[in-house]
Structure 1
Amino acid sequence: MCGIAGIIQFVPHNRDSAMAQITNMADTMAHRGPDEQGVYVDDHAALGHKRLRIIDLSTGQQPMASQDQTLHIVFNGEVYNFQEIKKELVRKNYRFSTTSDTEVVLNAYIEWKEACVKKFNGMFAFAIWDSRKKTLFAARDRVGKKPFYYFWDGKRFAFASELKAILAAGLSQKKIDPKALDCYFSFGYIPVPYSIYDDISKLPSAHTLTLTSDGLNLKKYWHLDFGSTRDLTMDQASDRLTELLYDAVKLRLISDVPLGAFLSGGIDSSLVVSFMAKISSQPVATHTIGFDETGFNELPAAGMVADFLKTDHHQFIVNPDASQTLEKIAAFFDEPFADSSALPTWHVCRMAGKNVTVALSGDGGDEGFGGYTFRYLPHQMESRLRLVLPAVLRTPLFSLIGALYPAGPGLPRFLRLKTIFENLAVSDAQAFYNDLIWLRQKIRQNLYAKGFMDALKGFTPAETVMPVYQKSSGTDPVSRSQHTDIQCYMTDDVLVKVDRMSMAHSLEVRNPLLDYRILEFAAALPLHLKVKNGSGKRLLRHLAAKHLPPQIIDLPKQGFAIPAAHWLRKDLNTFAHDHIFNSEVVLSCMNPAQLHTLWSRHQQGRADHSVLLWGLMMLGLWEKQFHKGPLQ
């Protein structure tokens, strides 16, 4: 893994100034690449690179130049099939002076131009500057594992792996984007293409970017097809997935540095470790974390899997006195990020980083194979009911019932139907969006300050999610939900969390279940092999039964969860209160009376507002480190 940065302008710049600027940008990302630093500067471009050496430890320095010195590349990530592509290029008479995948990417671009990205199986963000044609070509991997921020004001273009590096260039006006904040309050993360600042954007996953003197052009190069279903039996699908997963894991074991895995105790990471154990000649180094609180401890399950697979197992108990760690976490995200599982991810990355430089994880199993049944199954049921009743009857009927039905966590679980009634009044896409957000429309209107609502000018976060759902090639509500989760939640939350927390500890994380071939295979599975009779990830469970202890196959999903509601009432009470109610950004967006009511109800145990309160606390922490003053 690495950190990349660059500045391009078509009017010649001062080389000394550009050198200082690009050096400052690269220095902010020292954690991403502690092993080496390189820069390239000409009259129009400055490129910077911080390297974490994984493959080709002695050569492969960047920025790397083509043989004729007209192209220069900065590359972050890994192309796992680079040896296969290299053989093809050698047959075309290309010569190589390193054993790195970076040189393969550069020569692949020379040979196939922008179509080169379709050949790459990996995680990457890179930029190639053509000093002769005065063009920049950049790309991001299919699911957005590696980040790419950019600034463009029509005259100057800057890019980097992290937002703080662009801020170090001194180009941004640092004006908070109210749309980004609205999305953050609804999802807990800021989705593509937004960033917290209105003049900095994110390149979407599976996109290329071309910059010329005529302007900027973005193009999507990969679409995940959920519309072409294969007619497979469970055994046929299991055999094919075994082949794909074996190859995906094998490719991700290529490394010149120590390698291990995360082990949460769930079937996804456990399956990955089981395939690693089959391929590796040495015991796999596995890492997991847990908590003392009842119901938030996967150490026993992870230990059971580790014993079964005979791994070199390491475990760590997280201390709820998390305030100092949370401040560090906020610093590495650069913009507000509210997923509380970032805390255990920080700890497992810190622990793994002491033993290995590369770790494999099980991320992607839920999104690819239908694991989020707590959302998918109700959504499927609601969709079937919508087909029974015409909208002209359904909308007014369930709108009225939903408005009148009590909302009470005190009700028995089987009577908590208000959300379902409200969802039945709207479309599938709107209902899916409703199930994602923290703040439904009525709560949002009551909680937001008038000035903040006015600044949004009618925008709602639905504009970032519903079009993805509506344009999905999925033929059923579960497939459309999966498609949307992969493009939105997984890319902008899960993978952001893993990238920032692993890079904070100079650790590279690889995700076999996100191999694009496995995602394409999973997308084409018939629905009954993913979700049926209240069970999700049916194919993964079937496969896991052949490779793992039977006791873990049907364990409830937990992952790296934390007891956030309890911590906010006890150990983090004062810390959270201070960062929420002393935040000028929070108080400029929220109605103070409503916010105090939410806080009080949570502290009294009358409601669980931990998701929103955690998000507001993290916003306050971000503001303390990056932004002074209220929303502009």
Structure 2
Amino acid sequence: MCGITGWVSFRRDLRGQGPELDAMTATMSCRGPDDSGTWYAEHAALGHRRLAVIDLPGGTQPMVVDTPDGAVAMVYSGEAYNYTELREELRRRGVVCTTDSDTEVVLRGYVEWGEALVDRLNGMYAFAIWDSRADKLVMIRDRMGIKPFYFFETEDGVLFGSEPKAILANSLADRTVSLDGLREIFGFVKTPGHAVWDGMRELRPGHLATVDRNGLRETRYWRLEVGEHRDDQRATVSHVRELLDDIIRRQLVADVPRCTLLSGGLDSSAMTAIAAGQLQEQGEVVRSFAVDFPNQAENFRAEEVAPTQDTPYVHAVADHIVCEHEDIMLDGAAMADPSVRAAAVGSRDIPSGIGDRDNSLYLLFKAIRSHSTVALSGESADEVFGGYPWFHNEQRDAETFPWLANQNSPINRGGLMTPEVTAALDLNAYTADRYQEALREVPHKDSETGLEHRMREVCYLHLTRMVQTLLDRKDRMSMAVGLEVRVPFCDHRLVQYVFNTPWSLKTYDGREKSILRGATRDVLPESVANRKKSGYPGTYDPAYLAAIQEQARALIAGDHQALDFYDHEQVRTAAKATVSGITNIQRAGLERLLDLATWIDLRTPTLKPS
């Protein structure tokens, strides 16, 4: 896993732009703490920061292949899980790889197959190739968008990077955030391709883009497609298990210490149990980590998306399998530290507004990184198999994104903002437009009607919208500390297969995630196999709430730009509320205010909320 960046300019000689490229590359140091490299041609400059995971001595980048017609250079982030098969296929075609790295396989695969390489890859990746044979840049992102990729068109080329901060380090980039960018931030809507910053775009999942003297062209090479599902219940459950066994086996490959993220839910527990069995065959023991908070049992409050505590279920799994487990205990004072908030907001490049859940995830990953370099996560199983409560209640029929349909949810409000800002943003209208835009993309079968028709839409919305928010969060927070997190449930073969499984079969036992439960029940303790969905936990430590209230009071006493968005009296009221009296929306409003102030300090954007 790595951080990549680069610059293509057809009107200047970039060989004299070392300081600009160095500045861009330096912003990616957290993603690649092990090595740094740059490469220059007349019209292309590539920067790379490396996190060494496979072939530690041989995977140095930027990597270059010299051909009779010119050099082909690449900067690459991610993992190709089928690189050994591809290397063998290349060998049979007479292509010799001189290292054991997947990076070289991808680069030589491009030289051999061109852009058609994308159809052969299985993995998570974002990479850019400068092909001097045609004076063009090729930018490619994996099918599900697991790895991030951003670009900014200039008058004569393009800037690109794993994260916006790499692009913003170049003097050509604009730091303006206009109304739609603010709507993306405050509305909890992640529109594919939208990057918040004016002029910047995110390369959409399953897309490639080319840049040459004629400009930039973006092409979709993969999408979710409808097809006939011919397997019965037993065959479906069996095939899902076969896929999971293969996916996890591939994603355990690394030349560095590995672990799993264990929450005690069905997804992470099944993944950890399968990994444990596979590693046991090799004489190894899986390591697992979970987050916990002091006095969580006493302070816990059940919520729709998190009705139960994780710890009892985590320990049930750890006792059930051959596992070396550790709970990472995070107290409220540590999570409320402004430096932690700055690290979390800086990692995500946006003021997410979920505060403690971002701060704790950052600290969790930081603690894990002292033991492991690679971690497997159960992220995205809920989107694939239909695990959220709103897949199964009236929210699924709402004329909006189902996860935003609960009007009491803090993520559906611009909590504590002024009426003027609320009116200017008009989040309801913006969300409605994005929702209709998404619905127009959904592929349908003529035979699907009623509930099956609607659930095709609901599943598509989650797999192309909501999952992007979660994958981006997971990637940014983990790579901020140099930890590579892999997501087995995002393997495109599994996603496509389950997408075409009828909803009636996905819920064959009358519960959420029936197929996953059926496919993995044999490796799980009964309590975990039957546990209802419970999301990533928040902290209910009174010390955390007291700390963020104090920080909000200090902020409101000043003249910070973030306060222009907020009703000062509402902020004061929320900042004085008792632990038992503060509402979810008030707390979320304080978190968003603090995140926004932190983001403004870090990124110095020019905000245009009208």
| Fold equivalence (TM over 0.5) | yes
1:44 match: 43
2:284 corresponds to 1:285: no
Deviation readout 1:520-551 (Å, 9 max, x if unpaired):
11111121232367621011122232110001
Of 359-368 and 567-576, the range deviating more from structure 2: 567-576
2:222 corresponds to 1:222: yes
For 1:208 and 1:629, the matched residues in 2 are separated by 30
Deviation readout 1:199-245 (Å, 9 max, x if unpaired):
222111111111111111111111112x3341433322121111100
1:307 match: 319
Deviation of 1:565 after TM superposition, in Å, equals 9.5
Asked if structure 2 preserves the Cα contact closer than 8 Å seen for 1:137 and 1:209, the reply is: yes
Q: Secondary structure at the match of 1:142?
A: coil
Question: TM-score normalized by structure 1?
Answer: 0.85
For 1:86 and 1:38, the matched residues in 2 are separated by 25
2:336 match: 323
Deviation of 1:489 after TM superposition, in Å, equals 1.4
Asked if structure 2 preserves the Cα contact closer than 8 Å seen for 1:373 and 1:535, the reply is: no
For 2:410 and 2:332, the matched residues in 1 are separated by 27
Deviation readout 1:142-173 (Å, 9 max, x if unpaired):
11111111111332411011211111112222
For 1:196 and 1:602, the matched residues in 2 are separated by 35
Identity of aligned residues (%): 29
> Residues 435 and 466 (structure 1 numbering): CA distance in 2 closer, same or farther, change over 3 Å?
farther
Deviation readout 1:465-497 (Å, 9 max, x if unpaired):
332234212542223112111111111x21111
Select the residue among 331, 353, 361 that pairs with 2:377: 361
1:175 match: 176
Deviation readout 1:56-85 (Å, 9 max, x if unpaired):
111121111113252110000000001111
1:546 match: 522
For 1:581 and 1:143, the matched residues in 2 are separated by 44
Amino acid at match of 1:206: G
Deviation of 1:293 after TM superposition, in Å, equals 2.2
Asked if structure 2 preserves the Cα contact closer than 8 Å seen for 1:357 and 1:506, the reply is: yes
Asked if structure 2 preserves the Cα contact closer than 8 Å seen for 1:140 and 1:148, the reply is: yes
For 2:443 and 2:75, the matched residues in 1 are separated by 34
Of 194-203 and 545-554, the range deviating more from structure 2: 194-203
Select the residue among 453, 456, 472 that pairs with 1:496: 472
Amino acid at match of 2:492: Y
Deviation readout 1:229-287 (Å, 9 max, x if unpaired):
41433322121111100000011111111111111111101111111112112110111
Amino acid at match of 2:142: D
Deviation of 1:195 after TM superposition, in Å, equals 2.5
1:391 match: none
Of 338-347 and 134-143, the range deviating more from structure 2: 338-347
1:260 match: 259
Amino acid at match of 2:126: A
> Residues 204 and 465 (structure 1 numbering): CA distance in 2 closer, same or farther, change over 3 Å?
farther
Deviation readout 1:155-202 (Å, 9 max, x if unpaired):
241101121111111222211122121122121x65432223212221
For 2:492 and 2:557, the matched residues in 1 are separated by 44
Amino acid at match of 1:334: D
Amino acid at match of 1:290: D
Select the residue among 440, 459, 470 that pairs with 1:482: 459
For 1:108 and 1:289, the matched residues in 2 are separated by 40
> Residues 59 and 444 (structure 1 numbering): CA distance in 2 closer, same or farther, change over 3 Å?
closer
For 2:228 and 2:540, the matched residues in 1 are separated by 40
Q: Secondary structure at the match of 2:316?
A: helix
2:149 match: 148
Asked if structure 1 preserves the Cα contact closer than 8 Å seen for 2:415 and 2:589, the reply is: no
1:466 match: 436
Of 137-146 and 612-621, the range deviating more from structure 2: 612-621
Asked if structure 2 preserves the Cα contact closer than 8 Å seen for 1:429 and 1:469, the reply is: no
Query: What is the RMSD of the two structures over their aligned residues, measured on CA atoms?
Result: 2.8
Deviation of 1:364 after TM superposition, in Å, equals 1.5
Deviation readout 1:111-152 (Å, 9 max, x if unpaired):
322221121110000000112321100111111111111111
1:588 match: 564
1:515 match: 491
> Residues 481 and 366 (structure 1 numbering): CA distance in 2 closer, same or farther, change over 3 Å?
same
Asked if structure 2 preserves the Cα contact closer than 8 Å seen for 1:430 and 1:466, the reply is: no
2:56 match: 57
Q: Which runs of no fewer than 5 residues in structure 2 stay unpaired?
A: 301-307
Q: Which runs of no fewer than 5 residues in structure 1 stay unpaired?
A: 384-422
Question: TM-score normalized by structure 2?
Answer: 0.88
1:196 match: 196
Q: What are the within-5 Å matches in structure 2 for residues 407-446 of structure 1? A: 423=398, 428-429=399-400, 434-435=405-406
Q: Secondary structure at the match of 2:160?
A: strand
Asked if structure 2 preserves the Cα contact closer than 8 Å seen for 1:465 and 1:488, the reply is: no
Deviation of 1:512 after TM superposition, in Å, equals 1.0
For 1:445 and 1:268, the matched residues in 2 are separated by 32
Deviation of 1:560 after TM superposition, in Å, equals 2.4
For 1:213 and 1:458, the matched residues in 2 are separated by 41
For 2:431 and 2:544, the matched residues in 1 are separated by 26
For 1:581 and 1:181, the matched residues in 2 are separated by 24
Asked if structure 1 preserves the Cα contact closer than 8 Å seen for 2:178 and 2:607, the reply is: no
> Residues 445 and 453 (structure 1 numbering): CA distance in 2 closer, same or farther, change over 3 Å?
farther
Deviation of 1:370 after TM superposition, in Å, equals 0.4
For 1:99 and 1:309, the matched residues in 2 are separated by 33
> Residues 214 and 458 (structure 1 numbering): CA distance in 2 closer, same or farther, change over 3 Å?
farther
> Residues 345 and 430 (structure 1 numbering): CA distance in 2 closer, same or farther, change over 3 Å?
closer
Q: What are the within-5 Å matches in structure 2 for residues 524-543 of structure 1? A: 524-531=500-507, 535-543=511-519
1:410 match: none
1:236 match: 235
Asked if structure 2 preserves the Cα contact closer than 8 Å seen for 1:136 and 1:212, the reply is: yes
For 2:182 and 2:409, the matched residues in 1 are separated by 13
Q: Secondary structure at the match of 1:222?
A: coil
Q: Secondary structure at the match of 2:36?
A: strand
2:303 match: none
Amino acid at match of 1:329: A
